[in-house]
Structure formats: C-alpha cells, structure tokens
C-alpha cells in the first residue's frame, strides 16, 4: 500500500470516528482482530460525509471525480509536493470501496498498515482536560521607580494580555469566526465539510495548501499537540479537539483562541495585537481594524500590513465581506470600512537591552513576597524600584571596568567575533533599497555668521549626503547580537590589510579600528564590539572590545528604604544567568574590617587610640587548633598607628591586635562580639569561630554587604533590600511592599557608627580608595582584597545610596585563577564604583556632602584637634577628630593599647623610616607615627609635637597640603566645611600611591 495512502486512510479513520462516534473515539486497534471494525468505521464516516454535503446540495461524487479522474490536474510538475508519489488510481479505487459500497478485487487497502500507523500516531495522546484548566501565560508590564514603562516580562510565545471572553467585543469575536470558522457554533470540534473541501481543493489546485482546521483545532494545535506539519499531528489534533468540545463551552474555547493566537509584531492574543498594531485596547477597535486583525491568523507575516499593505487590504476586504454575509455588519459599515486606511501605528515594543539580572530578581521576589506563580503566569502591572538610567550606567561602568582591567594586565583574549554578517550582506545586496533608505536628505541647517578662518573651522560638519543605505549597514541594523545587553556599539568589519582595519557603524560612519588582540584575525563582515575614541567625529577611531574572562557585579541600594536602584549580577546575562549579587558568596576581604573597628569603637576606644602595627600571634581558640599570625599586605609593619589610620590604610595587624584587649579582655571574647554585630547586621546566618573572620575570610553575599554599609550611613539603622514595590492585575492591587523602617543594629550605638563613618571617609580621602579623593566630600567606603587577589571589592556610601562592586573570576572549572599581584580593590573596583556614584548623581540621586551627626549623636561627641599621625591632642589647628564623651567628658584612650612608656622607648634614633604599603598599595612611607625623616638628614620630629611635615607631598615638588583637614562637609554643629580637594579631583595633588610590585627605585636615597 502506498505510504501516502496509509497516512490518508489513518486520517480518514480519525475523521470518521470523531464525526460519527465522538463520545467513543478508540485510540488503539488490534491489527488483526479489529480489521473489520476499522473498515466499518471508514464506511460509516464516508456515509456521514455524503449526508453532510447533501445538506448543502453539493454532489460529493462529482467533486471527487473532478479531482481524481483527471490525473493530469495533479500529476504534473505543478502538483503540491505532498502529493508527489500518490497513485490516484489507488485512491479512486479506495474511495469507491468505502464510499460507494463496491468490493474491488484489486483493493489496495491494507488494514494492518493503516492500524499500525494510527496506533503509533495517537500514542501518549495529550489530555483534553488539561486544556480546560489552561492558564495562558501573559506579558507583565514592569515600571521603573518613576512610573515609566521599563520592561515587559513574558515567556517565549507568550507576549499577551489575557482578557475574559466577556471583555472582548462581540463584533471582534464574530469577525474572527467569519474569517476562520464560519460553522464554529454548529460543529462539534471538527468541520467535516471544511476538511473535505480542503482535501479536494489541495488535489485539484496546486499552490498554498488549505488546512480546513476549525477554531477548536487551532486551539489544540497551539496549546497542546504542537504545530508539526504531519499527519500524526493532524490525527492527534482532531481527537483532542473533539474531546475538548465535550468539556468546554463555545465561548470558553473562543476565549482560548482569541487570547492565544499569534497576530504578528510579537503579539499573542487580540488585546496585545490591538495595542501593538493600533495603539489601543481591543475594546476600542473599529470594524475595519477588527477585520484586519481577523485576517492575520491565516498568515501573520504573509498578510502583514506593515510589509505587504496590499495583501493586508485584500485580506481585510475578504473578512469584511464574510462579516456582511453573516449579518455582523451592514452594507454601509462594509462600504465605510473598505474605504478606510489600514491605520496601523509605528511599532513601539519595549526592546530591553539592560536590566536582565534585575528583572529576574524581581521575578524571584514576586514569587517569594507576593506569592505569585511567576510574572508571566498572567498579565500584571509591576511597580519596581529600578532607576532605569542608573541601571544602564551601572552595567556600562562594570563592563568598561572589566575590559580596562584585562587591557591593563595584558589578559585580553580574542576568541572570535560575536557573529559574521556576510550572508546577510549578500541578501541585502540582492535587494532593492527600501523607500525609507532612499529618501532625499533634509536641507542642511543655515550656518551661523562667522568671522575668519578659525571661526569657520569651528562650525559643525555638514551632514553626509543621504541615500540608499549600504547593504552592510542594513545588515548591521537587522543583526541580533548574542550579547544583547553589552553596551559597546556593534560594528562590522569592512576592510583589513596593511592599510589598517575599517569598521562600519550603525549610523553609517566608517571608523578606523585598533584591532588589538584580534589583529590579523578579523575577516570581512565580522561583527565586533568597539569603543569609540572620538565619537563625535565624522570618521572616528575605535578600539576593539572583547568579552572578558573576568567577572564582576555591582549593586546600588537606597539607604533609608532598601530600594535596589540598580543591580547587575555579571558582565552579560546571556553569557551567565548567575546573579553574583544575590546568588553567590565570596570572601569580602577588608570590606569586612569595619565590623571589628565598630566593635572597638563601641567598646570605648577612640579613633586616635594607638594600636601596634607589628607582628602578633593569637592563641588557639579554646586551647585547640593552631595559633594565628596574620601579616599585612606588604608583609611589614609601621609601629604604633592610630585606629583611624589602621582602617584608612587597611592594616591587617592593627585589625588583629584589636582582638587582643581592644574589644574585650581576651581575643576569643573579642571575636564573639564582632560576630554578634555581624549576625545582628544579617551579614551571616552563623559566624565561623576563627580569627581570620575579622579579615574577611568568611564569604558573604553582596546584597547583604550593601545593607550593612547602608546601616553605617544611617548611624546603625539597617534597611532590608528589595526591588518589588507593588503588583496590580486589571487595575486592582495584588501586592504592596509593606512600609518598613530600617532596623537598628543594637550591638553598637550611634556614636560608634558615626565615628566609623568618619573613618571610612578617610579611606576615600587619602587611604586605600584615594582615587575617590575628588568626591570624598560625598563618599565614604572601604576597599577589600581577599587572599591572593581572588576578589577585589569596594563597598561605600553617600547619604542617599550604598554601592558595592566586586571583581574576580568564577573559577567554576576548578582552576584557581587570581586577578594577579597588585590587582586589589583600590586598583580594580574603586574606578568602577566612582563611575557608579557619578552616574547616580546624573540620574536623580542627590549629591550632598556627608551628613553631620544626628541630634542624638551630637550630644555625645566632641570635636577636638589632634595630630593625625600620632593621635596627640593639640591646643589648636590640626585635624578635628570626633571623640565619644562619657559622663560629659571625653575619654582619653590614646594609650590604652600602647602605653606612653612604650612610645618613648620606641622613639627612633635613626633617619630611616618604615616605608611600607597598605593593602591596596597606597604609600604609607614614614616612621611608626607617620613622619618621614628629613631628606637633608635632619632628625625625625618629636612624636608628641605637632607634625607639620606632609607625608603625602610629592618628593619632587615638595608641595604641601594636609589630607587630614577637617572632615569635608560639616563639623559636628552642621556648619559647612570647605573640601581640601574641591570638586575637582585634580585641584590638589593626589596622595602618592605605590604599586606593591613596583620595580623601579625613585627615592632620592637610591
């Protein structure tokens, strides 16, 4: 038996069952036992068909005879491909056997083959009951923190807004029924007349094949059995459709159809389609607009009014005529609709190229806090906390920072272009230019009056003459890059060779490319990422940008509320969906040191308390295990150092020694107090009981670290980070984030937090984050570098926001790859964080000098002048330190940990100071109290006298300025204090910095 004939008979067997015995459709036949039953089912089905056509006064025999008795009508080259190989004589014989009661001796019918094909086709048949409870996925609209549309969340093939059938106008319903399924309200899921007409039409007329599917069948195809173009799918579709009709009402089925059907422009369902095509709700559609939409299911691309307006107009006319025949519209409405324009609007779909990590996190919060199944389970309006401009800027800053790190360390590796557009260019070259690309250019603007040659040179360049866009530009515009959230421009290689590499930009300009690591490896029409050096030039220069191997993440948190204003969990979401802000933990390094200093300040130590920056060994906890002997980043020490300077220059030994009597009497007790603060601050669920904890050895989540730094900015009030403000459905509230004030961390008081805040501002003013000195009026924070430079951090804050940046390698492959010697938080992460702060100010976050103490704190502190190096109190001048008062008096703790006698005994008697480096490579040249020996051989200054020598001045120019001027911003009374640095980072010489691996001596002594 012919293979095609087997499939046709199996399909006929299905059709016969669903039309003659829909309540008892059999899905398995025995090839031997049930042979006669199958023959009878086929004969019953044929009799039913003949009766159905008799109702319409159509002679089915004549229709079939016309199609089959003239083989030339389908046997030639113009016959549909699906019918090639079909023996029409066998088909005609089979028709006579089953439909006319004849018993031909040469019957080609093989019941066994038909049954086996049928049985296999209906194996694992989907349940119609599943469709009864189907909830179509929807597209939720996500708003940013200003209430503007930021994004849409939807599943693949799920960009829709579901409406109850009762909210879809009857006129729209009838338009689709008229166009797609005239007998929808009469049949029981399968329109046998439509099936036979389609079959006969496909036999007799080559061209676009007709399907004959009902609306019910289309629902089943779209939502259950799939859209494979096979006989198997058609068989499964008919059975499930017949069963669906028995458990669902016609309006329910029509509702599934109208909400599920694809109608072009990425839109599913009539509501989303109405918005996409006409910019209005389906309830506002005119007759002509409804007819246009109803004509699209037959071929959304083929009849697209955007691409093929003539086809769309013709199809609309057909639908309108059917609507008139069915009595849906009047003759007058028909005439008016036929004359109307298509009326489509420009497509304004939200094309997101940023915020993917944020939106995914938003979805997690929707499930956790709002109890939603997902943001795509139906159509919601979601109010989020994201600042859209800042979000994009944060991603750009991180991407640039990671690229700059690899370029600076020579780690750039080019592993090929993002894509190649050669095929696309070839296609566009074969196409005529579009009307849009061939429009004449607009007239150039009238030049302003100028005088002289120099003035003329300052005039803007005249626009390039417009004309048809070159094929490469059109291909670039249509390209869909793999890294769709990378913010470097995509360019296409136009030439390579000795003359250099040229690339084309999306705006039509051609740029010279510095190919860098890809030199000699680029090919024609490779699409690559670039960074424009002079973006406004007519012929700009560009640098190649390569996807980095290093990773990073960043978060911006609003201090008072906990709103997440921006968050990026990696370099690019398509490369890795792992959100490193919320889903991973990393060793925080020195960004955790403020915990220890907070505990010390809360225990009564003052910022000028002297601590020995020298080797220390702490005994095993509980008498078991190993003792602990930490080291500074540079391996050295600088003797007695104030608490403030120990934090500013991230001294490991100072931090460790605070456990030795600085917080509690014994080191294990001190460690416990630090852990208590960490637990109350919700940095950890439990604290690992070992000393390296205080140096950041226990991994932490970035989002939790951001909340802790926000607490420092708030004098101890910790906010809970969140991104979901509220959710609405059909205008009704579903969830609203409860108003929740920050929770105070009771393990330390306001005074300790305020003192810590001023010390962290010293970090940005002249410490390990001195690259931020130009903005240190507004920013405080701490750098961090974990062991062997595995992680580089910056965590900091302004009055309004906290920012945390991390850079490092994922090392998921088990190969430990570090950032490299000297690649610390101060070198790698601080520049990224600085860009983020500046972007925040450019996107609506206020730029205010760091706040003075709160009224509650003000009564408990006193500002007194000290020498910042020795911590010695002065009678005037110097640096105003912020001291805790106890019983109305300032507690003097300067020598609590380093007795005065020890200081005198350690008085230096040589010219050589200890030239060491802090964790992040900042120059801390000087003796134990920070003074430097005179270069002319003079004696060192007295550690108890006021020190007027500037340890940060350039050794070449000997310019002097004091980085320990009064805290920029306000004094304790809220009075404005001028910044020693001004608003311009270069207005004063920056603190001198030294790379730990600097190999060239520049000291005059060498």
Helix ranges, 430-512 (H) = 452-457, 471-478
pLDDT at 624: 81
Q: Are 545 and 530 in contact (CB under 8 A)?
A: yes
CA R_g for the chain: 38
Q: Are 598 and 756 in contact (CB under 8 A)?
A: yes
Q: Where are the beta strands (DSSP E) in 758-869?
A: 780-785, 791-797, 801-808, 861-866
Q: How far apart are CA 173 and CA 291, in angstroms?
A: 10
Q: How far apart are CA 478 and CA 755, in angstroms?
A: 56
Q: What does DSSP say about strands 879-886 and 889-890: parallel, antiparallel, or unpaired?
A: antiparallel
250 three-state secondary structure: helix
Concatenating the DSSP letter of every residue in 892-951 gives --TTSSS-HHHHHHT---SS--B--B-TT-BB--BSTTS----TTSPPPPPTTS-----T
803 three-state secondary structure: strand
Q: How far apart are CA 393 and CA 671, in angstroms?
A: 39
Q: Are 286 and 277 in contact (CB under 8 A)?
A: no
Q: How far apart are CA 809 and CA 817, in angstroms?
A: 7
Residue carrying structure tokens 């978060």: 555
pLDDT at 955: 29
CA distances from 528 to 404, 414, 499, 821, 876 (A): 17, 11, 19, 31, 61
User: What residues are paired with 503 via a beta bridge?
Assistant: 493, 511
CA distances from 434 to 301, 307, 437, 469, 470 (A): 18, 11, 5, 9, 11
758 three-state secondary structure: helix
Q: Are 764 and 776 in contact (CB under 8 A)?
A: yes
pLDDT at 969: 41
Concatenating the DSSP letter of every residue in 58-111 gives --HHHHHHHHHS-THHHHSTTS-GGGTT--HHHHHHHHHHHHS----TT----H
Give every residue of the chain whose pLDDT is below 70, as ranges: 52-88, 91, 197-211, 348-351, 433-467, 907-1006
Q: Using CA atoms of 329, 330, 334, 340 in order, give the dihedral in degrees to the nearest 10.
A: -80
pLDDT at 906: 73
What's phi and psi for 700, nearest 5 deg? Answer: -140, 155
Residue carrying structure tokens 């298509």: 342
Q: Are 757 and 712 in contact (CB under 8 A)?
A: yes
Record the pTM.
0.80
Helix (H) or strand (E) holding 990: none
140 three-state secondary structure: strand
Task: Give percent of the chain above pLDDT 90.
Answer: 64
């Amino acid at each position: 038996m012919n293979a095609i004939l087997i499939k046709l008979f199996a399909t006929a067997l299905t059709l016969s069952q669903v039309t003659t015995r829909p309540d008892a459709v059999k899905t398995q036949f025995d090839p031997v036992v049930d042979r006669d039953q199958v023959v009878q089912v086929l004969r019953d089905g044929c009799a039913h068909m003949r009766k159905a056509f008799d109702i319409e006064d159509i002679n089915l025999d004549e229709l079939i005879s016309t199609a089959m008795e003239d083989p030339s009508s389908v046997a030639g080259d113009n016959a549909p491909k699906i019918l090639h190989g079909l023996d029409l004589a066998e088909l005609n014989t089979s028709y006579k056997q089953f439909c006319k009661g004849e018993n031909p001796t040469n019957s080609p019918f093989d019941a066994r083959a038909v049954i086996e094909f049928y049985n296999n086709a209906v194996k694992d048949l989907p349940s119609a009951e599943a469709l009864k409870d189907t909830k179509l996925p929807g597209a939720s609209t996500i708003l940013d923190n200003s209430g503007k549309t930021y994004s849409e969340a939807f599943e693949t093939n799920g960009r829709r807004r579901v409406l109850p059938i009762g909210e879809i106008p009857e006129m729209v319903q009838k338009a689709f029924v008229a166009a797609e399924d005239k007998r929808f309200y009469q049949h029981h899921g399968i329109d046998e007349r439509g099936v036979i007409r389609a079959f006969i039409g496909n036999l007799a007329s080559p061209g676009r094949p007709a399907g004959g599917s009902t609306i019910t069948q289309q629902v089943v195809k779209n939502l259950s059995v799939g859209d494979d173009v096979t006989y198997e799918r058609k068989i499964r579709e008919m059975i499930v459709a017949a069963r669906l009709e028995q458990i669902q009402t016609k309006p329910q089925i029509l509702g599934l159809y109208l909400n599920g059907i694809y109608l072009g422009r990425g839109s599913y369902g009539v509501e989303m389609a109405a918005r996409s095509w006409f910019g209005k709700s389906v309830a506002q559609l005119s007759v002509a607009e409804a007819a246009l939409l109803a004509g699209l299911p037959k071929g959304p691309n083929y009849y697209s009014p955007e691409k093929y307006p003539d086809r769309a107009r013709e199809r609309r006319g057909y639908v309108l005529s059917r609507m008139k025949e069915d009595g849906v519209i009047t003759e007058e409405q028909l005439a008016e609709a036929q004359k109307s324009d298509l009326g489509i609007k420009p497509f304004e779909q939200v094309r997101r190229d940023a915020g993917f990590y944020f939106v995914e996190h938003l979805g997690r919060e929707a499930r956790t806090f709002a109890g939603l199944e997902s943001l795509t389970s139906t159509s919601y309006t979601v109010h989020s906390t994201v600042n859209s401009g800042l979000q994009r800027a944060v991603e750009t800053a991180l991407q640039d920072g990671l690229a700059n790190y690899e370029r600076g360390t020579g780690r750039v590796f080019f592993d090929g272009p993002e894509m190649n557009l050669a095929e696309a260019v070839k296609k566009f070259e074969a196409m005529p230019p579009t009307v849009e690309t061939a429009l004449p250019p607009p007239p150039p603007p009238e030049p302003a009056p100028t005088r002289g040659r120099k003035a003329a040179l300052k005039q803007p360049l005249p626009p390039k003459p417009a004309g048809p866009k070159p094929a490469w530009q059109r291909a670039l515009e249509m390209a869909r890059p793999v890294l769709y959230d990378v913010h470097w421009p995509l360019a296409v290689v136009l030439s390579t060779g000795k003359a250099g590499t040229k690339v084309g930009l999306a705006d039509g300009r051609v740029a010279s490319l510095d190919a860098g690591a890809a030199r000699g490896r680029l090919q024609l029409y490779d699409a690559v990422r670039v960074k424009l050096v002079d973006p406004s030039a007519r012929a700009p220069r560009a640098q190649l940008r390569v996807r980095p191997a290093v990773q990073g993440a960043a978060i911006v948190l609003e201090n008072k509320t906990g709103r997440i204003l921006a968050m990026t969990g990696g370099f690019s979401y398509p490369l890795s969906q792992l959100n490193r802000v919320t889903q991973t933990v990393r060793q925080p390094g020195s960004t955790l040191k403020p915990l220890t200093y907070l505990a010390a300040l809360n225990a009564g130590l003052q910022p000028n308390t002297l601590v020995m920056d020298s080797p220390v060994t702490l005994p095993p906890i509980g008498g078991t295990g190993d003792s602990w002997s930490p080291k500074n980043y540079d391996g050295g020490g600088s003797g007695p150092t104030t608490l403030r300077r120990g934090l500013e220059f991230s001294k490991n030994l100072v931090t460790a020694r605070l456990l030795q009597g600085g917080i509690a009497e014994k080191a294990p007790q001190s460690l416990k107090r630090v852990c208590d603060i960490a637990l109350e601050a919700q940095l950890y669920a439990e604290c690992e009981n070992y000393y390296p904890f205080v140096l950041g050895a226990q991994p932490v989540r970035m989002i939790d670290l951001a909340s802790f730094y926000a607490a420092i900015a708030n004098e101890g009030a910790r906010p809970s980070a969140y991104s979901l403000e509220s959710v609405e459905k059909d205008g009704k509230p579903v969830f609203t984030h409860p108003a929740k004030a920050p929770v105070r961390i009771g393990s330390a008081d306001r005074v300790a937090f305020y003192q810590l805040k001023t010390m962290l501002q010293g970090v940005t003013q002249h410490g390990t984050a001195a690259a931020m000195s130009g903005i240190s009026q507004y920013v405080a924070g701490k750098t961090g570098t974990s062991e062997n430079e595995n992680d580089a951090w910056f965590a900091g804050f302004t009055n309004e926001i906290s920012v945390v940046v991390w850079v490092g390698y994922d090392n998921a492959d088990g190969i430990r790859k570090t950032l490299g010697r000297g690649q610390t938080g101060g070198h790698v992460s601080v520049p990224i964080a600085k860009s983020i702060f500046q972007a925040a100010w450019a996107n609506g976050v206020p730029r205010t000098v760091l706040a003075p103490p709160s009224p509650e704190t003000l009564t408990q502190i006193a500002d007194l002048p000290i020498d910042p190096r020795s911590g010695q109190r002065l009678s005037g001048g110097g640096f105003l330190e912020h001291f805790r008062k106890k019983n109305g008096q300032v507690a003097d703790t300067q020598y609590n940990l380093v007795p005065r006698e020890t200081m005198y005994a350690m008085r230096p008697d040589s010219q050589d100071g200890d030239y060491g480096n802090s964790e992040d490579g900042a120059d801390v040249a000087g003796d134990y109290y920070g003074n430097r020996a005179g270069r002319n051989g003079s004696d060192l200054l007295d550690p108890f006298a006021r020190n007027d020598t500037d340890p940060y001045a350039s050794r070449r120019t000997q310019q002097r300025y004091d980085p320990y001027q009064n805290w920029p911003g306000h004094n304790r009374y809220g009075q404005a204090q001028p910044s020693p640095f001004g608003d311009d980072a270069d207005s004063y010489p920056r603190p001198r910095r030294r790379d730990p691996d600097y190999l060239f001596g520049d000291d005059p002594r060498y």
